[in-house]
Every structure is written in structure tokens, then in C-alpha cells.
Amino acid sequence: MSGAALVGYSGSSGSEDEESGGARAGPTAPRLPVPSSVLNMFRDQEEEVVDDSTKHGGRVRNFPHVRGNWTTYVYMPYEASEDFLELLELLISHARTYAVSLTAMEEFHISLSQSVVLRYHWITPFVQSLKQHLATAYRFFCTVDQVKVYTNQNKTRTFVGLEVSSGHPQLLELVSGVDRVMEEFDLPTFYKNPSFHISLAWCVGDLTDRLEGQCLQKLQETVDGFEDSAFLLRIQWEQIRCKSGNKLFSFPLRQLGPDFFRSSQLLQLPLASRNPP
């Protein structure tokens, strides 16, 4: 029994017979309404999507929505501070002087996968596999301080982002684990030689020519000259998330224990000091 069939069930009297000209055989017992718990039983198996680009700034979906398909991607979330948002406002203001109107991102993250499509019954095993492959990953720092311009694959949107300048090996290791999960489900892996970054703002269309050159130079100078930018843009990553339709899954990264720090300090000591009498 499908969710659509349940929702379509009506408790009214036989209007279908009246419209089709059918004759009633006699009085019938009234139909009982379907309990709401039954109506909602299968509702979460569908990702409710309305393709109307006018409702979200003219953005266009990279692939059409198909009932039963859930758009899915893996990423590391970043909770923006007030100082970070202040820097973002400065960048948007400077871009406006070069005739580019940018819209700030609603959320900030570093992507660890492409957007892929999962069938509903794949979600649970997909998430379980992610949990297994990411179980040994530790928290780490990276620096995002290089302004860069990006476009999506079909050139319908342009982004201004902050590219990672340190922490690249750790990110590649995480992507390797995510890619193995993608291969298990015959899904596209991440880009080769990826430019890890946090997208800050976007605009519709390909406006790369306007944003690069003098505009990009001005944006980079703004980042470099922002108060405490070196501290602000050095980020510790503590979790990985997977979003599939309206479902959100979190995978905390492991904390480095005291044994790790003791061994690190020991390695920094002169050889003669490592084994005291």
C-alpha cells in the first residue's frame, strides 16, 4: 500500500458513482476516516520539493527532482561568528562597487562530496557505511584565507569563497573515506585535485570576469587586513555531516587524547632527554 493511495482515500459518500452515472444498489455503511498516524506512515519516504526558481533567487537545480530520489551530500559545517559575518559584509560591499550583487550564503561548510542522488531505501545503509569509514578520523585545524571565485558545473551560479591554505592532507584523507562509500553505491566520487573552500556568497549566472582581476585583489586585501584574520580564519573541524533530503546525520570527529600530546612533546625533546636515568 503506497502513501499516495492512503492520502487519496476519502471519507465522503459515493460521489464517484454520481459522476459516472452509476446507480446505487442500496444504502451503505458510512466510511470511517483513516487515522492520521496511518496517513503519515509513509510521508517521510518522499522528499517534498517544488521546482520554482523564483522562490530562491533564481537558482536552478542541477538535476530535476524525481519522486523517491533524495539529494545527498557530505560536508563539514562551520558555525559563523559575528566577526566572520562582519568580514563577509565587507566583501559583499566591495564586490558591489564592481557591479556585482552578491547574496550571502545561509550556511557555511566545506564539501567532502558531490551532490548525489539516493533512493530512500539506500539512506540507512549509506549512512551506516559513512559512519564506519569515518570512525577513525580525528579533529584537526585548517586555515581558509585565500579568496577565490568558483562556478557550478553548469555555470548557472558564481560563488566567492575562501580556499583552504593549510589542512589539505587531512581533508583529502576524509574525502578518501567518503569516496569509498560512494563507490560501494556506484555513485560519483569527489573531484580530482579539489579546491577545498567555504563558499561565502553567490550570484546568478557566470560573472567570473567581473569578480576576478581588480575585484578579486580588493577582496583578498580586505581579508588580509581584517582584524585578527589569522585567528578568525583558522578553524577546528569537529564533525562531519550528511544531508539527504530533509534528513540530517552527524559524525563527530575523535578528540586527540593526552597520550597523543605527550608523545608529540616527547618527539620534540632532544634525544638525550627522551630517556632520563
Instruction: Supply the DSSP string of 11-44, one letter for each residue.
Output: -S--HHHHHHTPPP-S--PPPPPPPHHHHTTTGG
pLDDT at 38 over 60: no
Task: Please give the residue that has the higher pLDDT: either 263 or 97.
Answer: 97
Spatial neighbors of 188 by CB under 8 A, at least 6 apart, are: 114, 116, 182
Could you report how far apart the first and last alpha carbons of the chain are, in Å?
77
| Percentage of residues of the chain with pLDDT beyond 90 | 67
Rg (CA), the chain: 26
Cell 476516516 locates to: 33
**Lowest mean pLDDT segment, chosen from 63-77, 90-104, 185-199:** 63-77
Predicted confidence at residue 23, as pLDDT, reads 37
**Lowest mean pLDDT segment, chosen from 59-63, 126-130, 160-164, 191-195:** 59-63
pLDDT at 275 over 80: no
pLDDT at 220 over 50: yes
The whole-angstrom separation of Cα 98 and Cα 222 is 15
Predicted confidence (pLDDT) per residue in 112-168, tens digit: 999 999 999 999 999 999 999 999 999 999 999 999 999 998 999 999 999 999 999
The whole-angstrom separation of Cα 188 and Cα 191 is 9
Distances (CA, A) of 45 to 5, 241, 245, 261: 14, 20, 10, 46
The whole-angstrom separation of Cα 227 and Cα 10 is 64
> What CATH code is assigned to 67-256?
3.90.1140.10
Annotated catalytic residues are: 109, 197
The whole-angstrom separation of Cα 3 and Cα 39 is 7
Q: How confident is the model at residue 198 (pLDDT cuts 50, 70, 90)?
A: very high
Q: How confident is the model at residue 21 (pLDDT cuts 50, 70, 90)?
A: very low
**Lowest mean pLDDT segment, chosen from 15-24, 53-62, 178-187:** 15-24
The whole-angstrom separation of Cα 125 and Cα 148 is 36
The whole-angstrom separation of Cα 200 and Cα 104 is 6
Q: Closest Cα partner for 195 from 147, 131, 233?
A: 147
Predicted confidence at residue 66, as pLDDT, reads 67
Q: With H, G, I as helix, E, B as strand and everything else as coil, classify residue 9.
A: coil
Q: How confident is the model at residue 33 (pLDDT cuts 50, 70, 90)?
A: low
Task: Please give the residue that has the higher pLDDT: either 55 or 218.
Answer: 218
Number of neighbouring beta carbons within 10 Å of residue 260? 11
Question: Can you tell me the mean pLDDT for 90-114?
Answer: 97
Average pLDDT, the chain: 80
pLDDT at 2 over 60: no
Q: Closest Cα partner for 116 from 44, 188, 183, 194?
A: 188
Predicted confidence at residue 257, as pLDDT, reads 67
Q: What is the pTM of this model?
A: 0.73
Task: Please give the residue that has the higher pLDDT: either 236 or 38.
Answer: 236
